[in-house]
Amino acid sequence: MFEFAYPWVFVLLLLPFAINKMPLYYRANRFALRISFKEDIDAINSAKSDVSGISRATSVQKALLALLYLLVVTALAKPQYIAKPLSQDVSQRELLVSIDLSGSMQTKDFKDANGTLINRLDAVKMVLGNFFKARQGEK
């Protein structure tokens, strides 16, 4: 399933429209600078074309800019693809047991559950038998 982590970020798509409606200049109640040749400057400005100097981009450039802004906002919303949960098999481990079979293993210095003395090899067999019984449920 495809979803966004931060869907509220798409509110930023309205930001360019809001900025476009806002005045980008400061209107003063009085002139900051008084010049004697203001009429000459106004005549030169009125002779220029009516094209605004804010944006001289072509329509293709404006479309690419809008697409770029849409992609950036979409990236900020953090799109995520959430799939069905995967079942994970429990990893198996191979176990190798090495047992000493020398003559020293015949020494009777261990006690079993009954308290009788047993040799070392029988003690190892008993401990490993309990270990493997405890591992029966594993794969």
Give the pair of three-digit tokens for residue 38.
Answer: 């203001």
- 1-47: pLDDT as tens digits: 889 999 999 999 999 888 888 876 666 666 566 677 777 777 777 76
Domain ranges of the chain: 2-49+56-81, 103-134
Residue by residue, DSSP assigns 9-63 as GGGGGGHHHHHHHS--SPPPSS-S---TTHHHHHHHHHHS-S--SS----HHHHH
What 8-state DSSP symbol labels residue 85? P
Map tokens 């990236």 to a residue: 75
Rounded CA-CA distance 35/39 in Å is 9
The pTM of this model reads 0.43
Q: What letter would DSSP give residue 89? A: P
- Position 86 confidence tier, pLDDT thresholds 50, 70, 90: confident
Confidence at 136, pLDDT banded by 50, 70, 90: confident
The number of helix segments (H) and strand segments (E) in the chain equals 4, 4
Q: How many residues does the chain have?
A: 139
Q: Which two tokens stand for residue 110?
A: 């261990």
